[in-house]
Every structure is written in structure tokens, then in C-alpha cells.
Structure 1
């Protein structure tokens, strides 16, 4: 299981709950088992992060030279640590948009080793984020390294860590615009305290910014890139001379480059052994196992996935063993584990990737699946006979519409908008069994495929107000009980571009569910507030 460590720290999880902390602290050996040291002539000069036995992520500006080695299991630079392992770099892959003349943007590179690191308590991979995974501004994350302990200070011998809050993207951009040469970029993210005192510093470049998921595993969200000075305050920057101004720590946002990372790390990947009998007297099975398949059918066709067997180690968050279905542009369609047979999946495109991973414990018997190319419209895309995955603007409707829907319906649609877009759902007709709490028949809209956060639930005979997603993903779930049935619903969905910001344009956003009548759903009604398009919490990310 990625993102686990023997020595666990307990970072704060909210900026508001933290008092100011000055400086970082030395860590116990094994506290950051994914942290590696990049060395030239046996001397440390940059950090990196282990994501598999053979792949390391670092900053592109760190790898101008090709004569590099990478040491995993490193703790004290002056001692040979127990699990310390050093491998040569076989291949360096810089992001194609990295420009050495403007090295702040797309500052990320992949290093492929000439062998495999052996996992242990001090050598272990970090988790890569899921495509739609978010850690909100104010969330406290950790960066570490062997960089200077203060600006122009000495280099430490032992690994140190600091805890930093993630900044709002708007605040990050604002601070970087106050420099003598304002900095702009597509992949910049900031973390730190406005009054300084805590930061990454020289020698930490290429290292990790990791956040702890709610269920315990550590996830890589940023690569240490640069900053002006070390731990300088950036409060009142405009009142200072240019050479005294500061910035937060600036990192490369991993979510922005995740498809590129997966493209290279997964390319050419095959299982350590093919399915079937093993006739040889001896052999090797490598874990964590990683198997990747790309399904491609003719242009203009869609893909239907049908499972006949499914037995993958169960976990609430599918963090141990899992099968992920991923669109060609890197968006997560679904992640499955356990013993329940998944619904058939209808993918509204002609290509899809399947990624199966397993750790070294508690194996199931795996899965069996048949895929086939079908013409669009062959199935009604009702979301009932299959889980419909939609990538283009269109309509959704209840089964048999405009006739009455069936009882005991359980229909799901997952809509994926392009990057920097949200989904707007507009109901055209609505006729469902009415109930004060929508407990019988209902249409529920969620903001992610895990059904964790509900945006709106509707029932009754009044056409509900339009619903806007909070990200590029929307899940629609239609449910009916075994009693009365009615004419159902029909709705169309559009994609709204967040980059088109117009202060005079207003859209209707649902309030937080907890603010609506103390959590009680009202049939056929929605409570909305007006906000300028592109200036909401999500819209600020593109600014």
C-alpha cells in the first residue's frame, strides 16, 4: 500500500487551528520513506520522491546533468544508513513545456532507474493523487529535505521536515505578481505562512509536498520548485524594497501534470506474470503488481465493459488492491475493489485505460471482463442497464421516458466536463413520487463518483432549478422504490467554461446542503445564491 510509513507524524489539518510555528524539525529515520537524494559525484544537491521501485519524480531544473545517482533510504548524509540503496539514472524525462529560460513553470521531471529499489521500512513509495483529488486551501501538508535550515545558512546532515498550509490559488498569484519580475504559470501552487518563518530552502528542490488523506495514506501533491529567499514574510510586500520581498514556497502542482506522469510511468507496463498456469520450477511475482491495458475501438464507437467475475481485496477507499477505469485524458471514471460485481460500464468514447494494482497482502482471485465496441445509441444510456460515462454535452432521462419508469430503479450517470469547466444540469420535465424527505423516488446529484458530497436531491412534480457542479465531474443517481411510479424526468447538461470570467454574468449555485433547512431535502425545490461566474472558490483556480 503506497503512502504508509513506520514513524507517523500528526500534522495539523486546518490553518485556522495553527499558531505560528518557526522553522522545521529533524525527523526520525523512516519518517519519509519516499524521500530520495539526488547526487552528483556522491554529493547531495536535490531531492526527489519515490513513486515505484523504478521511478522517481523531481524538479526539472535539478537535472541539467545526466551523470546522476539516486539514493533511497537516506537519512544522515554522512552515514551509511541500514536500508540505503543507490542506483544510477537510466533515463531523464523533463516535461515538454519546461523552459530553462523560464524554469518556474512545468518544473518537473521523471527519473527512471537502471534497476529496482527494494522496499522496506525506510524505502516505500508515496501515493499519486487521483485525477479529481483535492486538498483545500488551509490544509496542512509536509515538505522535507536536506536543504539549508535558514537563508544563507548551513546545510544539515540529517533529513528535516516542515509543515505548511496550502494557499488559495488567487493569493498565490497575487503574491507572485508583487515581485520585481512578476511570475505567472500554469502549474504553480503555493504553501506557507504569510509572516514567514517556515519554508523549504536551497537544497530542498525536487523534494515532495505530501498531504495525508483522511483515511491515512500520504499523497504527493507538489514538487518543491523555488521561492524568493527562505521563509521570508510576504505580508505588505508592496511596501518593501524589491530585494526584501518574499514569497511562499512554490511547488509544481502534480494534478496539473498527472496525465503526463501516468503516460510515461505506465507506458510499456506489463504484469510480472501472465494469467494461467506456471509450469516452471521457479519464478518471480513482483508486488506491488501493476498492470495497465488500453482499450481502443474504431472512431465513432463507444465501449461497453461487462464484468463476469470480481474478487479484489476489499477496502473502503480501495487503497490496497483496485481496478481503475481511466479516460484517455487522465480522468478517473471509477475505482473498484471488493467482491460485488460492478455494473456494466458504458464509456462514451472510443478509448479507455484499465489500471490494476495490488500490494503484497491478502489477494483475491482477480476479475474477468469482456469489452465490446457498440454504436452510440445502441443502448439508451439510461444509466440503468449500465453505468453511463458521458464526455459530451447531451441529455439524460429516466428509463422508458416519457412513459412511466420502472420500480426499484437504480440508475447512474457520470458526466465528465473538460478541464476548467463545470457541469450545468437543466431539467426540462420532472414527475417523480412526492415526499417531504424524497425518501421514495428521487434524483440526487453528487459532486464526485464516490457519492461523498451531495449537491442536490429532488422529487415531486415541480421542475427543479438548474444544478451546477463544483468541479468538472457530476454524478446523477435516479432511485425508485417498489410502490408508485410516474412519468420520470428529462434533463440536458452543458459545460460551463470557468476561464470566461464576466463579473456581470451570474449563475445559480446551490448552497451547502447543511445550510438548507438543517439538512432536510425539499421536494421539487432548491435553495440558491448568486455569485459572479469565475469568481467562486473553484473559479479562482484559473486566475
Structure 2
């Protein structure tokens, strides 16, 4: 996977933070796209969503642990520099819950390809519903929901309100057929989603946020973590997500050490 071809969907605060669309190519001719396919989430709709101060998203794995992407953090160890914001759709709401980090645990062996998960330990619990993670591949199909905060155009400011969108599963074979960096998709560690015609996707700034769906009991379950992609909701360029079920056991073991 070339560093120019596959772009991680992380954005530092004040940089690109898009929700419900995907990253623009890093070429001079690439025009910024408006947010497409996304609608504003309702307060309380996804209470497990977390906004992280370094420009990423995340989900509440437990009241004191946030699950995010490995590429959103610099490594493992004590870390008090991250602020997690939760409990609101409106980031400027006076009801927003803000908690500092104490530790970070990045996926062992992470080197920029695959294994794109990390855990952030919080200084105090966030008393909101958590998001359970998939422990097998049963729900790695169908239509997924993605959500996050972001700008309406590439290089714009972070959005105040959370947006949500739906994206369908794409098979590994179809995803690889897109060519370029997609040819190096790591089966079993990454899962793709999006529309063949484009128009709806996750993007820079959504990194670390969850891709989820309803399980057979009607409860939300996380199947992916926003990782990388090429283009901004462009035809033939799907979003790529960490396949959570593959790492469920490792995530549980790591969380138990925090």
C-alpha cells in the first residue's frame, strides 16, 4: 500500500474533518466535494459516539475505554493529552461530556497496514451506553451505519453537528478490483463498504470512528473502524475499515490491562 495511494482518514484539529464522505485525492486537480449522503444525527441516537481532540472519532468500548484507530495515536503508554467529547450531537452543547485520557494502547505490531485499532483509557467514566463489538463474521455483511463530525468541503473546519450515513458491504474481491492501493487489501484484517457509484463514504477526520449495524436482537454492533480510502466518495473507491471481529479477542485482552 503506497503512502500516496492510500490515505488514512485522520485529521488534526483545524484541518480536514469530514463526516459521511471520503478523502479527496492528493492531486492539484482534485476539487473539494460537498458532504453527500449524510444527514444530521438526532440527539441520543448514537450515544456511544466519541469525538477525540486530535481529530479522530471513536466509540465507547466501556465507560472508561474508547476504541479508535491505531493511526490516530503515536504509540502506547501514558498519555494525558487527548480529550474525549461524548454525550452530544452538537459539539458546542453545554451538555457535552469531556474527559481527558490517561493511557493509550496501540495494536501490537501495527506498522501502517492492517491492525488499525487502538484503545484510549479515560481519567473518569463516561456514563453513556457502550457499543459492543463483533466477535465473529456473522454481521460483516449487509448495510452499515457510519457517523462522525466534519466539514462540508475538503480542508474545511470541523462540523458542529454529527452526521450519519449508510454504506453497503463490498466483498474483498470487488474491493481489490478497484486497483491501486485496494489491490493490497488485507483480507481478514480489513473490510470494505460503499456504493459502486460513490456518493457516500467516510473521510479524513472520521478515522477511528465505528462502522456498525443492528444485530439479530436489534442492538447496534460494531463491525469496523474507519481506517483509509482513496478519493472523496468517488465511484469505484470504497472506504476501508478495520475488521473488528478479527481483533475482538486482542482488543478485549488489551482493554483488561488498562
Bin of the TM-score, shorter chain as denominator length: 0.7 to 0.9
Residue ranges of structure 1 left out of the alignment (5+ in a row): 1-21, 235-246, 269-543
Alpha-carbon distance, 1:190 to partner: 0.5
Change (3 A) 1:154 1:89: closer
Alpha-carbon distance, 1:79 to partner: 2.9
Alpha-carbon distance, 1:165 to partner: 0.5
Alpha-carbon distance, 1:160 to partner: 0.2
User: Is the CA contact 1:47–1:204 (under 8 Å) kept in the aligned structure 2?
Assistant: yes
User: Is the CA contact 1:151–1:201 (under 8 Å) kept in the aligned structure 2?
Assistant: no
User: Is the CA contact 1:149–1:201 (under 8 Å) kept in the aligned structure 2?
Assistant: no
Distance 1:25 1:57 in 2: 24
Task: Find the residue that maps to 1:110 and give its secondary structure.
Answer: strand
Distance 1:210 1:216 in 2: 12
- Deviation sequence 1:112-148 (CA, Å, 0-9, x none): 1122112xxxx2101122x3341254x1110100123
Distance 1:127 1:249 in 2: 22
Change (3 A) 1:68 1:180: closer
Task: Find the residue that maps to 2:201 and give its secondary structure.
Answer: coil
**Equivalent in the alignment of 2:166:** 163
- Deviation sequence 1:304-351 (CA, Å, 0-9, x none): xxxxxxxxxxxxxxxxxxxxxxxxxxxxxxxxxxxxxxxxxxxxxxxx
Alpha-carbon distance, 1:267 to partner: 4.5
Alpha-carbon distance, 1:158 to partner: 0.2
Change (3 A) 1:33 1:55: same
| Structure 2 counterpart of 1:47, from 49, 57, 60 | 57
Matched, 1:109 2:118: yes
Change (3 A) 1:181 1:75: closer
Distance 2:174 2:45 in 1: 31
Matched, 1:63 2:73: yes
**After the TM superposition, which residues 417-496 of structure 1 pair with which residues of structure 2 at under 5 Å, given as runs?**
none
**Equivalent in the alignment of 1:135:** 139
Alpha-carbon distance, 1:174 to partner: 2.5
- Deviation sequence 1:231-265 (CA, Å, 0-9, x none): 0111xxxxxxxxxxxx2111000011111111122
Distance 2:174 2:163 in 1: 27
User: Is the CA contact 1:150–1:230 (under 8 Å) kept in the aligned structure 2?
Assistant: no
**Equivalent in the alignment of 1:125:** 130
Residue ranges of structure 2 left out of the alignment (5+ in a row): 1-35
The 4+ residue runs of structure 1 with deviation greater than 6 A are none
Alpha-carbon distance, 1:69 to partner: 1.3
Task: Find the residue that maps to 1:262 and give its secondary structure.
Answer: helix
- Deviation sequence 1:155-206 (CA, Å, 0-9, x none): 321000110011112212322xx11684332511100001100001121111
Change (3 A) 1:266 1:142: same
Matched, 1:217 2:223: no
- TM-score, L = length of structure 1: 0.38
| Structure 2 counterpart of 1:254, from 244, 247, 251 | 244
Distance 1:63 1:32 in 2: 24
Distance 2:120 2:183 in 1: 30
Higher strand share: 1
**Equivalent in the alignment of 1:183:** 184
**Equivalent in the alignment of 1:230:** 232
**Equivalent in the alignment of 2:19:** none
Distance 1:160 1:227 in 2: 19
Distance 2:86 2:140 in 1: 30
- TM-score, L = length of structure 2: 0.78
User: Is the CA contact 1:47–1:207 (under 8 Å) kept in the aligned structure 2?
Assistant: yes
Distance 1:73 1:181 in 2: 35
Task: Find the residue that maps to 2:88 and give its secondary structure.
Answer: coil
Distance 1:132 1:181 in 2: 23
User: Is the CA contact 1:89–1:112 (under 8 Å) kept in the aligned structure 2?
Assistant: yes
| Structure 2 counterpart of 1:263, from 243, 253, 257 | 253
Task: Find the residue that maps to 1:134 and give its secondary structure.
Answer: helix
Distance 2:249 2:242 in 1: 14
Distance 2:181 2:245 in 1: 29
**Equivalent in the alignment of 2:14:** none
Matched, 1:38 2:48: no
Change (3 A) 1:215 1:181: closer
- Deviation sequence 1:361-388 (CA, Å, 0-9, x none): xxxxxxxxxxxxxxxxxxxxxxxxxxxx
Aligned residues: 218
User: Is the CA contact 2:83–2:100 (under 8 Å) kept in the aligned structure 1?
Assistant: yes
Change (3 A) 1:198 1:168: same
State the Cα RMSD in Å. Answer: 2.0
**Structure label with greater radius of gyration:** 1
Change (3 A) 1:87 1:58: same
| Structure 2 counterpart of 1:98, from 110, 116, 124 | 110
